[in-house]
Amino acid sequence: MTTQDSHPPSVAATELDEKAAKMLEIYAHQSFKNPSVGQRMRVRMIWWVIRSKIADNVKYLFDFLIAFVAMLALSPVMIITALLVKVTSPGPIFFKQERVGKWGEPFYCYKFRSMYIDAEARKAELMAVNEADGPVFKMKNDPRITPVGRIIRKFSIDELPQLYNVLRGDMSLVGPRPAVPKEVAEYSYDQLQRLGAIPGITGLQQVSGRSDLDFKRWVELDLQYIEEQSLWTDIKILLRTIPAVIFARGSY
């Protein structure tokens, strides 16, 4: 897909998740005070780690299988889209951008290019008419979007290359949408909690209004998903995504 798809340097190199690290700290403290309590906490911690790893592996296997099948089934749509992007405006077919993943881990996210090649340079002059609140940029009639781009964005076709991100393990089918580093740098403490899950192609925000939601509600839905995430939750969100994409609810 690209000649340069290596990961950028990590900004969150850690062996354990935040919760596991915190549990280790509590366990060490309690073991010193009361060996019997420490032993029980150690068993609970080990079970929590095992259960979390099993859930993560099941989620990745589910994501990989669905993404692989989806890429095969949607390959005609992706080929046609690639040709239309190429012949209707100058520039590359794919748009590659650094995004922030789980626990702040950076990765490159792929999309079909839906904007003119000078879009990033022109963004600064459009910030005064930003229609979104919070550290995000949204504009219904964004002049940087190409004619083909408007169509593929309306029906989320521009997001299909992210199935490749799912196969790589950078993203999940379901999860909070990945933010760019500049946006994350402006997050409050509560907003940073949305980095507690692998980012997804779709999620509660995408099936609950997408761009029609304000950023506060967006974060609330992401945190709700992180709290309630399970394989069954992912399946329900994927099923709700189908009509949301077909009817282009809240997309622009």
What one-letter code names the amino acid at 223? L
Q: How far is Cα 14 from Cα 45, in angstroms, rounded to an integer?
A: 18
30 pLDDT higher than 60: no
What are the tens digits of pLDDT across the range 200-222?
999 998 898 877 788 889 999 99
Residue 141 half-sphere exposure, CB side, CA atoms within 13 Å?
A: 1
pTM for the whole thing? Answer: 0.77
The partner residues of 96 in beta bridges, in order of sequence, read 110
Specify the higher pLDDT residue, 126 or 39.
126
Q: Show contacts of 86-89: CB within 8 Å, 24+ apart.
A: 88/146, 88/147, 88/148, 89/113, 89/116, 89/117, 89/146, 89/148
Share of the chain above pLDDT 90, in %: 55
82 pLDDT higher than 80: yes
In this structure, the number of other CB atoms found within 10 A of the CB of residue 247 comes to 10
In this structure, the number of other CB atoms found within 10 A of the CB of residue 201 comes to 25
What is the residue-averaged pLDDT of the chain?
84
- Residue pair 251/153 in contact (Cβ under 8 Å)? The answer is yes
What are the tens digits of pLDDT across the range 41-65?
677 777 766 777 788 889 999 999 9
Residue 34 — φ and ψ, nearest 5°? -150, 105
Q: Give the β-pairing of 106-112 and 172-174.
A: unpaired
- Domain positions in the chain: 74-246
At 135, the pLDDT band (50, 70, 90 cuts) reads confident
What are the tens digits of pLDDT across the range 224-241?
999 999 999 999 999 999
Specify the higher pLDDT residue, 30 or 112.
112
Specify the higher pLDDT residue, 125 or 83.
83
34 pLDDT higher than 80: no
2 pLDDT higher than 60: no
